[in-house]
């Protein structure tokens, strides 16, 4: 949830949650922070806390099997549509089995310092989530998003 409240890389700006809120609810989100804050949820109202918990659960949930039909809110080509500007050509074909993972948003949208900090924080995460994070960070680096 700390990452959702953080500002995205420039020139896009705005909080990471705005990517999901715009796609799901067609609304603007709260302004983001320039750093990963701890316990920032205690400073917002209950409705906002609930929204951020729901968004975090969507990001942390196990991604769908790419062999099955894509479910909302992420269609099969969401990552390709969002990041057509990637410097590395062909990375999408190599990672087709994992391209539906919304955890990629963190590795592709957040500034490098925050991605590195999340890497440090991920040491305390469950093994499956840490494995997904490591993979997402690697794809972000290969795709030219994490500089």
Q: Which pLDDT belongs to residue 44?
A: 82
Q: Which pLDDT belongs to residue 11?
A: 67
Torsion of CA 120, 123, 126, 127, to 10 degrees: 110
Please tell me the distance from the alpha carbon of residue 90 to that of residue 86, in angstroms, as a whole number.
Answer: 9
DSSP string, 11-54: TT-SBTHHHHHHHHHS------BSS--SSGGGGS-HHHHHHHHH
Q: What phi and psi, each to the nearest 5 degrees, are found at residue 6?
A: -90, 155
Please tell me the distance from the alpha carbon of residue 84 to that of residue 88, in angstroms, as a whole number.
Answer: 10
Asked whether residue 1 is domain-assigned, the answer is no
Asked whether residue 2 is domain-assigned, the answer is no
Cβ partners under 8 Å of residue 115, min gap 6: 106, 107, 137, 140, 146
Structural domain tally of the chain?
Answer: 1
Q: What tokens appear for 38 in the block?
A: 């701890």
Cross-strand pairs, 7? 15
Asked whether residue 3 is domain-assigned, the answer is no
Asked whether residue 128 is domain-assigned, the answer is yes
Asked whether residue 111 is domain-assigned, the answer is yes
What residues of the chain score a pLDDT lower than 70?
Answer: 11-12, 65-99, 143-147
In 3D space, the residue among 112, 39, 108 whose CA is nearest the CA of residue 79 turns out to be: 108
Asked whether residue 9 is domain-assigned, the answer is no
Asked whether residue 120 is domain-assigned, the answer is yes
Residue-wise pLDDT tens digits, 109-133: 888 888 889 889 999 999 999 998 9
Domain ranges, residue 138: 17-63+73-142
Cβ burial of 51 (10 Å; 0-12, 13-18, 19+) is buried
Asked whether residue 10 is domain-assigned, the answer is no
Q: Which pLDDT belongs to residue 123?
A: 92
């Amino acid at each position: 949830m700390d990452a959702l409240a953080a500002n995205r890389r420039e020139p896009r700006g705005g909080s990471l949650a705005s990517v999901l809120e715009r796609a799901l609810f067609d609304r603007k989100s709260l302004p983001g922070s320039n750093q990963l804050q701890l316990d920032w949820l205690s400073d917002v109202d209950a409705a906002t806390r609930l929204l951020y918990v729901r968004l975090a659960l969507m990001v942390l949930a196990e991604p769908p099997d790419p062999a099955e039909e894509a479910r909302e809110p992420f269609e099969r080509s969401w990552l390709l549509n969002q990041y057509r500007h990637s410097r590395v050509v062909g990375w999408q074909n190599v990672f087709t089995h994992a391209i539906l993972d919304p955890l990629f948003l963190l590795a592709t949208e957040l500034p490098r310092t925050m991605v590195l900090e999340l890497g440090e924080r991920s040491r305390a995460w469950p093994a499956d989530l840490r494995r997904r994070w490591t993979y997402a960070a690697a794809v972000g680096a290969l795709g030219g998003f994490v500089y």
